[in-house]
Amino acid sequence: MKKLFIAILPLVLLASCAKDLGDYNVDPKRASVVPAATLFTGATRNLTNALTTPNVNSNVFRFFVQHWTTTTYLDEPRYNLTSRTIPLALWQSLYRDVLSDLHEAKRLIEADKLLTDEAVKNNQLAQIELLEVYAWSVLVNTYGDIPYSEALDIENTQPKYDDAATVYADLLSRLDAALGMLTPGSEGFSGADLLYSGSIANWVKFGNSLKLKMGMVLADANPTAAATAAVEAAPNVFTSNADNAVFPYMSAPPNNNPLADNLNPILTSRKDFVSSKTLVDQMNTLNDPRRGFYFSPMADGTFVGGAYGFTNTYANYSPINPNTYALDFEALLLDYSEVEFLLAEAVERGFVTGGGTAAEHYDNAITASIEYWGGTPADAAAYLLQPSVAYATATGDFKQKIGTQKWIALYNRGFDAWTEWRRLDYPALSPPTGGNAPAGLAIPTRLIYPTTEPSLNTNYESGKAATGGDVATFKLFWDKF
């Protein structure tokens, strides 16, 4: 009996330490409540990862704009969107890993009774809202009509698809409201803010630069709205590379630069990507000083791009520069060069007057890009002196001049380069033709909806109808030419 008592005693004591059996299901090593700041940081990282990764399962925009091409696998540079889950991967990443986390962070801040400083609370809510607007703009500029007004409601598993133009207009209104909430003299997210380390003044510039960017997307579809956004934003946008929205990756997994997962020998032995002949030939023609920062030269010092959309022997072509896939190489969400190109266009269109000519903004944009990548002011000046680069003598109208140089400058930002190519229609890119390339290939102007949507959401049919039958070559509402 004594032995039985001794055996049972530890069980009795163990049970007495728990209020109920549910306590045994609590993992003490995993947080049960996530702070708003943590959600904000995670969403920022996930947004940046989604737009930066070169993983062919989720981000193929570097192929669409022919900055890169593949060595072996041809589905992606030949625009097969169903052999992998590309549309679903981006869709899920933005809805689940970015917007849902930001939505919950906002709810937690609004419910926090201990956060009594209204200026701090408003700054945090505005920071969240600006990232939300950014993420929503990526979705609408990728797919067209999307679940929006009824999205992010866990009780509604069948959110309706909203009209893309209507969504876009609402996003601009939300952006204005967020800008109105920012108070630079007060704190917002501090340590949790990986873009600007808590500088609300920088968030003001970021928000206005995003407003300029989103406004100019409407330039052909709604010039009045575009002009209004440009005029209101222009006085408060980025003014140097120091203002860039930079995400700082770390030198160790899992918070490393996602390019490293797919290219860095430390993490992978694959050699799937090389520079594309389309971009390399253009940069060779212009003697572009960024070539050595974008790509690695061949043994003889030349740069040679692989045939776009065809197989390429890795050793025969200029590979991606290892600096870009260093574990801690940063990513950009928005930069000064892009802003200056937008201002050049806004001047050409008559939206913005004063503050510089189109040529001056164009020169600033190119100089900023060259210097960001490691070139010198002298490199930029020499590049701009070439008749084929100088604004006064470069070929074509403002769309061609700006579009071509912007395409080069947006290297490593495939999604934004794709958006600008669709919008400005330059440079003139062609799909793979000849050889074993299938006939009739066309560069996508949108991603199709995830193949799961027809079975998961009955409202998919309205989105399908609004996008020409859910086809990849359907032009979105702002893509007029």
401-425 pLDDT tens trace: 999 999 999 999 999 999 999 999 9
SS3 475: coil
CA separation for the pair 135, 231 (Å, rounded): 23
Separation of alpha carbons 2 and 32, rounded Å: 42
Q: What whole-number distance in Å separates Cα of residue 339 and Cα of residue 65? A: 20
Q: Which of 17-26, 43-52, 131-140, 151-160 has the lowest mean pLDDT?
A: 17-26
Tokens standing for residue 311: 């197989």
Record the tokens describing residue 241, joined without a space. 């590379």
Instruction: Inform me whether the pLDDT recorded for 14 exceeds 60.
Output: no
Length of the chain: 481
What does the alpha-carbon distance between residue 264 and residue 434 come to, in Å, rounded to a whole number?
A: 33
pLDDT of residue 13: 40
| CA 290 from centroid of its chain's CA atoms | 21
| CATH dotted code for 36-253+329-430+446-466 | 1.25.40.390
What pLDDT, in 10s, does the model give residues 345-393?
999 999 999 899 999 999 999 999 999 999 999 999 999 999 999 999 9
Q: What are the CA-CA distances from residue 399 to residues 4, 119, 281, 320, 334 (Å)?
A: 88, 42, 20, 28, 20
Mean of all residue pLDDT scores within the chain: 94
Single-letter amino acid, residue 164: A
Contacts of 48 (CB under 8 A, 6+ apart): 247, 331, 333
| Interstrand relation of 331-334 and 245-247 (parallel, antiparallel or unpaired) | antiparallel
Contacts of 396 (CB under 8 A, 6+ apart): 404, 426
Is the dihedral angle over the CA atoms 297, 259, 200, 126 positive or is it negative?
positive
206, 188 contact by CB (below 8 A) = no
> Which residues have CB under 8 Å from 51's CB, separation 6+?
59, 138, 331, 333, 413, 415
Q: How far are the Cα atoms of 58, 181, 207, 335, 477 from residue 143, in angstroms, in the given order?
A: 14, 30, 23, 24, 11
Residue with tokens 């540079």: 77
pLDDT in tens, 191-234: 999 999 999 999 999 999 999 999 999 999 999 999 999 999 99
The answer to whether residues 391 and 359 touch, using CB atoms and an 8 Å cutoff, is: yes
